[in-house]
Amino acid sequence: RRRQRASVSAMASDGASGASLLSASELNQLLTILKVSDRPLGDVATQFQRVFQKADHFRAACAVCILLEDDLLTVAQRVAGFFVLTELYRSDTNPFLPVFLETLEKTTLMVEKGFLVQLLTSPPSNRDAAHKTAAAVVAEFASVTHVDVPELGALRSVYSTTVPPVPQMAA
């Protein structure tokens, strides 16, 4: 519990310099957007894009990743978070693909595994998830006991060849 509070606090402020990933107000807005489980996921993604200006999308998406990686969201909120990250970069290489792949490999939640496979393997134009609510996605995968995960090497390869490497810091 202490780790969760520390992660959320770190998103709102880093303490010493006062720099933050998101302001407390922005974090509250983000959490409000992700909590809506009774609206279609397409509407959730649209709301995210309305609340956060285009210049702030990457910062807010990084905050979503922290919330996902630190397991600070409910299953329905995780579904919404992954959908938002997918929609933000639907026509480009998604800079958050490693988060998707790592989650897919490590998660024991069949809902999450099934949804991630669906997001990663279907073209954006064929995604019917945009018309479903997060609650409907959770219900759809609730009784699933096994998900076939495709070979992820091809996705990793495409990612590594299209995303420029992060420059190394001098020691």
Beta carbons of 29 and 51 less than 8 angstroms apart: yes
Beta bridge partners of 133: 40
Q: How confident is the model at residue 13 (pLDDT cuts 50, 70, 90)?
A: very low
Give the model's confidence band at 171: pLDDT under 50 very low, under 70 low, under 90 confident, else very high: low
Element (H, E) at 45: helix 41-51
**Residue 25 CB neighbours (<10 A):** 9
Euclidean distance between CA atoms 167 and 69, whole angstroms: 23
* Widest pairwise Cα distance in the chain: 51
pLDDT tens digits along 88-127? 988 888 889 999 999 999 999 999 999 999 998 887 766 7
Evaluate if residue 17 carries a pLDDT over 50.
Answer: no
CA distances from 28 to 8, 12, 63 (A): 10, 10, 11
Interhelix angle 41-51/134-141, rounded to 10 degrees, is: 140
For residue 76, give the nearest of 120, 25, 33 by alpha carbon: 33
